[in-house]
Structure 1
Amino acid sequence: MLTRDDVACWVLKSAVLPGEVDPDWQPRTEVETTRCVRRTYRVDLVTPGDPVLLWCSGRVAPGVHAVGTVVDTDPGGADVVVRWTRLADPVPRGALLSDPVARDAEVLRMPAGSNPSWLSPAQWAAVQALIPSAGRT
């Protein structure tokens, strides 16, 4: 079972690309969304201020498409409010699979797993190194 010390960053998965979530959401801009998560003990570990990644799955451009911060959680429910910044250049799944640390991330090992997934401190550092600084605000 995970603890807060295990998790450096949460990962929320979506089959929908950012431009389909909100057609006005341009790279390097922010949006705030409410995401549904599976009600498990993990939701109790999520707190405002935690970093989070938007992982888009599927055949078209799978990978990390946005970085964000947890704004709020539903104490008894299954919703997480996140403020996202869309990356100018998403980090492709292949780049993560090529990284010796990131490739062991749960989202890559168990892509059909439920939300939220997570990254360890070492995995989060590896993913941050792959995010072009021009893609962040």
Structure 2
Amino acid sequence: MTIDRTSVGCWILKGNPDVFDYFGAVRAQPPRIVRPGVFEGNWTVGNTYRNDLIKKGDLMALWITGPHKPGIHEIGWITSDGPIFWAQGFDRKHAVDPQKAAQPTYAVDYAAIRLEDLYVQRGEMLAEPVLSHCEQFRARQMSNPSYLTPEEAHALADILATRITPTRLGKAHWKKLLVS
């Protein structure tokens, strides 16, 4: 399905644990701190028309797939002016598939907070009526990035507000999605 910027409330950056060991990387590497409680990160995206829609300041959420803790693990905002071309591929230190990691790819930079044990589990999203029909569940093999509509992003923010403080939501630039 073709989308435009008005379709997007938040970009979903998807991580496949068969390609990159997200949890191992988080354990092994101290985060690059942007300001207290907020770290700098980056993630690869596919070569798709959606890359032209990604803008600095857009909200993002990192979705880790697979059988071990699938769900939203980080929330924040895009800090690069759209995707950046990485000719040398991505971080091989935590790559599960080194050949894939060595391939040229696109990526976005972002600033975010890690949800850690407070991550939003796939089952929680499926149980929420608005989120249960998001692109992540309708088209699981969709290229990266996926997205949440504005209504779906608000629903995710409501879930997040039940587990993290308004201050942390604000640090991630997500507090603005809460209905007052």
Q: Same fold (TM over 0.5)?
A: yes
Q: State the 4+ residue runs in structure 1 displaced beyond 6 angstroms.
A: none
Which stretch shifts more, 103-112 or 127-136? 127-136
- Structure 1's 86 and 41: CA in aligned 2 closer, same or farther, altered over 3 A? same
Cα contact 2:84–2:108 (8 A) shared by 1: no
Distance of 2:136 and 2:45 partners within structure 1: 14
- Structure 1's 101 and 113: CA in aligned 2 closer, same or farther, altered over 3 A? same
Give TM-score, length-normalised by structure 1. Answer: 0.87
- Please say if 1:22 is aligned against 2:26: yes
| RMSD between superposed Cα atoms in Å | 2.1
Cα-to-partner distance string for 1:17-45 (whole Å, 9 max, x where unaligned): 654233235xx943322221112111100
Among 134, 143, 156, the alignment partner of 1:114 is 143
Which stretch shifts more, 98-107 or 32-41? 32-41
Among 22, 38, 47, the alignment partner of 2:55 is 47
Cα contact 1:62–1:93 (8 A) shared by 2: yes
Higher helix proportion: 2
Indicate the residue corresponding to 1:5 in structure 2: 6
Which stretch shifts more, 45-54 or 102-111? 102-111
**Rg (Cα) greater in structure:** 2
Give TM-score, length-normalised by structure 2. Answer: 0.67
Gaps of 5+ in 2: 86-104, 172-180
Total equivalences in the alignment: 135
Cα-to-partner distance string for 1:39-88 (whole Å, 9 max, x where unaligned): 21111000000000010111111111110110002466722111121014
Indicate the residue corresponding to 1:71 in structure 2: 79
- Please say if 1:99 is aligned against 2:107: no
